[in-house]
Structure 1
Amino acid sequence: MGMSTTDQPWGCPNSSSNRTSKPSRNSSSHPRAPLEVVSSAQANFLRHFKRFDTVEDFSDHHYVSNGNASKQHSKTWVKKVQVDWKIFLENNLPETIFVRTCESRMDLMRAVIIGAEGTPYHDGLFFFDIHFPDNYPSVPPMVHYHSGGLRINPNLYTSGKVCLSLLGTWNGNTREQWLPRESTMLQLLVSIQALILNQKPYFNEPSYEQGRLRAWGKGAWAPGPKQFLTKIRTKGTPSGEAYSKVYSENVYILSLRTMVYGMRKPPKHFEEFVRSHYFERAHDIVKASNAYIEGAPVGSLVKGTSQGGSMQFRNEVAVFMKTVVDEFVKLGVNELEDILEPPPVIHTNTSR
């Protein structure tokens, strides 16, 4: 990407991508010219950052030891990988997915997915390393999630394992499995975004332990036989939605931790992207977190609803956002400390 140290966007002290130039005073009665919109260096960088591109090396790739540059692949393998590349090059990638491949190691790929609005993953960056084995496309690719040791989803393990029918790592119906002649990398990445990083990830949870379901992240357990638990955790039921709400609160806290992990240790070839992304999204992230601190449910900016966040969640957001803001400030983002909401006040009834 060829940027010098002085050109790196995170070195710019501006904290907004839409600053306007200050108009000069003019006593003339003529109409004023429209204000010029000045984009930040970070916004300009993101605007020109290609959704798909090739890089020279992947020395930090999770699967780098699974092959080498001189390895010969079958014609079928090469053709399929080139087809995947062509699909990406034809601008079929969504605006929230970016991919890098390596010409000398065609078996390696790296992708980042931006968390969607309305989910507990909003504004976050989630990285995946992909490897095409020798018998690809007869078998699906191998995918490793950059977890940072955080379990942000039932389908994303701290080890980096991605649990998805399309990958053959979870038993789904036939229509959801990898089809060598039909399935593509684009389909896989979009599936991860839509089926895993979704609005209510709690309902991705497939596991039961000894007939009891764990309320993930809170250490609570729901008693009763498996059949009863299947009913209470069903989407749309009061109990199921209550479990989902607690789950999403935990996910948002872990998503904030993932942001910090990514800013401190960005994957290779995405360093500038990570810093520029969070520079531009910093105020939105603080705004959303402030709304959660004030009682809005996760994924919404509606304050004071009856389905608002728990007091424990609101306190955890307020406390950890101090760490997040510290990282934003290191990127050059200004005017954040003063707008961050303090922890909510817990009113206790002292009357007898």
Structure 2
Amino acid sequence: MMYGEIEEIEDVHQVERKFQGFKNFDILGDSPNYHHFYYSRGKPRIESEWEFIFRQLHNPKNLAGSIFVRVYDRRIDLMSVMIVGRESTPYHQGLFFFDIFFPSNYLKQPQQDKDDVALFYRTFGFDLNPNLRKNGTVLLDKAQKYSNTLELLSSLKDLVVNDKSYIDAQKGLKLNNRVFIQTCEAMLKMLKCPPRPFKDFVLGYFRTRAHDILLNYKACADLEDKAMNSLFFKLVRAFESNGTYCRHHYDQKQYDRALKEEEELLEQRYEHGYGYAYEYGDIWYSSPRMSMLNKLKTWIF
């Protein structure tokens, strides 16, 4: 075994160890500066709830494994939340990220209105759910009241990632398949730039779920369709780059063909003056033509 192979195996084990040890609730030092409410300021008395949230999120009978929370010592008014999509829904195996801001008057009343806190959903550019707007707006029940933060988190989970929110509004298997496919497209962006408080979970989660995701994709998508086939191989490339062996999911000739088509698409974009576009986080960049086409393919493919 070569030295590089040993390093790769150790890296795989390290990612999986961090994923398995990822806590449902943790207190960090400071919030990331891209938190949507980073420049808002409040002094809520919310620390008293942290221990209660910790206990409930680690209780297997409650929300363990479905909601993950990060709070900040130096910014007690901010919270970052990750919710795992439920099984038997189009959102299965998807991840949903929210930024929360608690104003100074939070918890000063027995019953809080939903408007007493500010919520922001990280869309990654997709409109997946009627309760999650593309601009980051979260639409909760206007009549909903809650007496603590855990109830807010529970209602958020129930309203935005259940199986009825989409099916009741617009029925049909085709719609559910479209939502699943868009969820897969969002996965590519999450793997490129995972939210910092949840990075260890994101990398480990998709490493362990890659096989199921690819199987589900092949069952839902029409791989005869060029766009669907291209997205499938983008997922393959992303999962392989993240350390998952995916060779048994595809034919090498199809893989090479998809890669060639992607190269041709890049060339066409350049010829028409669009340049090569690739993404970093929520910001899109366009680069002039370079001799580094293979490097670009690691971003786009």
So what's the TM-score if we normalise by structure 1?
0.60
Cα gap change, 1:114 to 1:41, in 2 (>3 Å): same
Determine whether 1:264 maps to 2:237: no
Alignment of 1:1-352 (within 5 A): 12=9, 40-58=13-31, 59-67=33-41, 73=43, 77-78=44-45, 81-92=46-57, 93-137=63-107, 138-139=112-113, 140-165=116-141, 171=142, 174=143, 177-179=144-146, 182=147, 184-203=148-167, 205=169, 243-293=171-221, 317-334=228-245, 336-340=246-250
CA distance in 2, matches of 1:149, 1:98: 22
- Structure 1 segments unaligned to the other structure (5+ residues): 1-9, 16-39, 166-170, 206-239, 294-310, 344-352
Cα gap change, 1:203 to 1:120, in 2 (>3 Å): closer
Structure 1 residue 136: Cα displacement: 1.5
* Contact kept in structure 2, 1:53 and 1:100, CA below 8 Å: yes
CA distance in 2, matches of 1:143, 1:273: 22
* Contact kept in structure 2, 1:290 and 1:340, CA below 8 Å: no
Q: Counting helix residues as a fraction of each chain, which structure ranks higher?
A: 2
Structure 1 residue 274: Cα displacement: 1.1
* Contact kept in structure 1, 2:90 and 2:177, CA below 8 Å: yes
CA distance in 2, matches of 1:126, 1:314: 28
Identity %: 30
Structure number with greater CO (CA < 8 Å, separation at least 6) is: 1
* Contact kept in structure 2, 1:101 and 1:108, CA below 8 Å: yes
* Contact kept in structure 2, 1:155 and 1:163, CA below 8 Å: yes
Structure 1 residue 319: Cα displacement: 3.3
* Contact kept in structure 1, 2:94 and 2:187, CA below 8 Å: yes
* Contact kept in structure 2, 1:99 and 1:112, CA below 8 Å: yes
* Contact kept in structure 1, 2:67 and 2:81, CA below 8 Å: yes
CA distance in 1, matches of 2:202, 2:220: 24
Which amino acid in 1 is paired with 2:180? Answer: Y
* Contact kept in structure 2, 1:108 and 1:131, CA below 8 Å: yes
Cα gap change, 1:142 to 1:12, in 2 (>3 Å): farther
Summarize deviations over 1:111-169 as a string: whole Å, max 9, x none: 1111111111111111111110122234432111110121110111111111111xxxx
Summarize deviations over 1:304-328 as a string: whole Å, max 9, x none: xxxxxxx599875443121111111
CA distance in 1, matches of 2:56, 2:159: 22
Larger radius of gyration: 1
2:103 match: secondary structure: coil
CA distance in 1, matches of 2:189, 2:94: 11
Q: CA RMSD in A?
A: 2.7
Summarize deviations over 1:21-55 as a string: whole Å, max 9, x none: xxxxxxxxxxxxxxxxxxx4333222211110011
2:69 match: secondary structure: strand
So what's the TM-score if we normalise by structure 2?
0.70
CA distance in 2, matches of 1:318, 1:289: 10
